[in-house]
Amino acid sequence: MNNQAIVEKQIGPVVDFKIVADWGNANFHAIAGWLAAHLRWQSAPGSQFWIKTGTGYGDNIQALVTGEVDLSITTPYDVTPEWARAGTHFFADQAPAPFIRSLGWLPQNDRLVFAIREDTGITSFKDLRDRKFPLKLASGFRTKDNLMMWVIDRVLEEHGVEVEAWGGEWLEHDFPRICVPFVTNGQANAIINEAIVVPQWRELVEKVPMRFLPFESKALDALATKYGLRPGVLSKGYLRASEDVPCLDWSNWGILVREDMGEDLAYRLTSIMVEQRAELEARYRHQPSEIAAMTYPIDPHAMWKGTGAPLHPGAERYYREHGYMK
């Protein structure tokens, strides 16, 4: 077979492919561009590719459910699709979407943590309750699409912490690179957020003495039992934490599609995620893996496991044929 025949054999049909990613300037858009570029090179002339901005949460799922897009990226990789498929918790006001399927996940070692300035004298959630401390709390936008804020409300609820009722206020921005500096520059006295790998978190703890409050075991048990939220640990020394700090796991990015996607297309997309992974990893290798915005390396033997939605048959066929599901 000559080289031209090999090329032609690799070219798929014309596709009209749409992806919903993030705000437009972060990791989900990098992933969307990476997938779209390689799918474009494997598709017939006349194919079209579109990337839509989103929050990564409710609107990303809704765009997939309605068929507005063919592929959605979200986080965390497990509870978000689990809740959407069942129509529960954050998605309780929406119809169940059991047709959501996964192509796998990409790694990010992340945590949802609560940090407060040391000069407040607060050392625990009990202190917050006892003092009814007025928090100026930096976090994300409190919009209907923001799943993280829904979870944060549950975290505060299980710890018996109130913000407005105790004379506090929220300082809001979705982008952690903008939100975290609210504490650094003194506008806020505490923060509850994720994206612990962004450099603004490291700048914060270098400039301002901070204390990470351990989530209480009773609250973590309730969050797991009621909602399936996974406990996590901010390891001692990470962001200058003085000890291991119990918190919530917020890891990994789920790549989601619908069950009605053609099996061959799902297979091709999965092959890109695996076979072109070095290209995506290269965007992050200028930093050590533990602080890189994406944790590397991507492991095809693991990336199909633990997803909050069943694998699409095309994705499963790819992983099995290539020996990753042994």
CA angle 228, 229, 230 (to 5 degrees): 110
Please identify which residue in the block is written with the tokens 């890891």. 251
Q: Can you tell me the distance from the alpha carbon of 21 to that of 306, in angstroms, rounded to the nearest whole number?
A: 21
Helices 27-41 & 263-275, crossing angle to 10 degrees?
120
My answer on whether 145 and 198 are in the same domain is: yes
pLDDT in tens, 174-225: 999 999 999 999 999 999 999 999 999 999 999 999 999 999 999 999 999 9
My answer on whether 116 and 135 are in the same domain is: yes
Q: Of the candidates 34, 99, 31, 96, which has an alpha carbon nearest to the alpha carbon of residue 257?
A: 99
pLDDT at 3 over 60: no
Domain total in the chain:
2
Q: Can you tell me the distance from the alpha carbon of 300 to that of 307, in angstroms, rounded to the nearest whole number?
A: 13
In a domain, 3, yes or no: no
Per-residue confidence band for 7, with pLDDT thresholds at 50, 70 and 90: very low
User: Would you state the structure tokens that stand for residue 253, as one six-digit string?
Assistant: 């990015």
Q: Which domain holds residue 285?
A: 12-109+251-321
My answer on whether 119 and 216 are in the same domain is: yes
- Farthest-apart Cα atoms in the chain, separation: 77
What's the CATH number where 55 sits? 3.40.190.10
pLDDT at 1 over 50: no
**Mean pLDDT computed over 243-257:** 98
Please identify which residue in the block is written with the tokens 């959605």. 72
My answer on whether 182 and 145 are in the same domain is: yes
Q: What are the phi and psi torsion angles at 307 (to 5°)?
A: -65, 150
pLDDT in tens, 99-118: 999 999 999 999 999 999 99
**Mean pLDDT computed over 118-123:** 98
My answer on whether 227 and 291 are in the same domain is: no
Helix, coil or strand: residue 183: helix
pLDDT of residue 326: 85
Q: Of the candidates 236, 188, 255, which has an alpha carbon nearest to the alpha carbon of residue 27?
A: 255
> What pTM did the predictor assign?
0.95
Contact of 81 with 100, CB cutoff 8 Å:
yes
My answer on whether 192 and 240 are in the same domain is: yes
Query: Above pLDDT 90, what percent of the chain?
Result: 96
**DSSP conformation letters of 93-111:** TS---TTEEEEEEE----E
Helix then strand then coil, in percent of the chain rounded to 5, is: 40, 20, 40
The DSSP H or E segment spanning 72 is strand 71-74
Picking from 249, 271, 306, the residue at the C-terminal end of a domain is 249
Per-residue confidence band for 53, with pLDDT thresholds at 50, 70 and 90: very high
